[in-house]
């Protein structure tokens, strides 16, 4: 699977995550799934910036009210929910044990933005299944 993210959407996530420091920030991603031969291609067409209802630097939970509004917006725009994203203010861009435990959807893409090194933010996408998190191919496009 290849996942494409527009640089402008990456900037949006980054800007919001920095503005929410020291807390973790989170949101949803939506887009279009297509097949290129055998391979699945996912284009992230829209990123959603949601409230972390935990307001914590160690936890995040998405606000169900905003989740509902986002899902409505995705439907109106013909987009498929693809997964979510959250930031790690002080740790690397990889799934924590708790992130894995609470990742219930094996079809979802879980994006993690590390702000540990503020001059060098890192965004990766993960697939979580059977208690294991695997890094996916995330490609930034103009």
97 binds, among another protein, Zn ion, none (CB under 5 to 8 A by kind): another protein
Residue 80 lies near another protein (rule: CB under 8 A): no
As a whole number of angstroms, the longest Cα–Cα distance in the chain is: 43
Residue 16 lies near another protein (rule: CB under 8 A): no
Pattern 81-120, another protein, x by CB under 8 A: ---x-x-x--x---xxxxx--xxxx---------------
Rounded to whole angstroms, how far apart are CA atoms 31 and 46? Answer: 6
CA 60 to the chain's CA centroid:
12
Between 54 and 66, name the residue whose CB sits nearer to Zn ion: 54
Backbone angles phi, psi at 12, to 5 degrees: -60, -50
- Terminal-to-terminal C-alpha distance of the chain: 19
Residue listed under structure tokens 């279009």: 32
Number of residues that bind another protein (CB under 8 A): 28
Q: Residues in the site for Zn ion, rule: CB under 5 A? A: 96, 99
């Amino acid at each position: 699977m290849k996942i494409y993210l527009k640089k402008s959407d990456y900037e949006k996530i980054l800007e919001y995550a920095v503005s929410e420091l020291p807390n973790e920030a989170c949101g949803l991603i939506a887009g279009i799934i297509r097949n290129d031969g055998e391979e699945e291609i996912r284009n992230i067409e829209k990123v959603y910036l949601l409230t972390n209802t935990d307001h914590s630097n160690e936890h995040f939970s998405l606000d169900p009210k905003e989740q509902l509004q986002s899902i409505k917006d995705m439907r109106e725009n013909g987009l498929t929910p693809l997964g979510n994203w959250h930031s790690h203010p002080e740790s690397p861009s990889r799934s924590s044990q708790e992130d894995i435990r609470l990742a219930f959807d094996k079809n979802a893409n879980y994006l993690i933005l590390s702000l540990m090194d503020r001059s060098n933010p890192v965004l990766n996408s993960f697939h979580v299944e059977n208690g294991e998190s695997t890094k996916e191919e995330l490609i930034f496009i103009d």
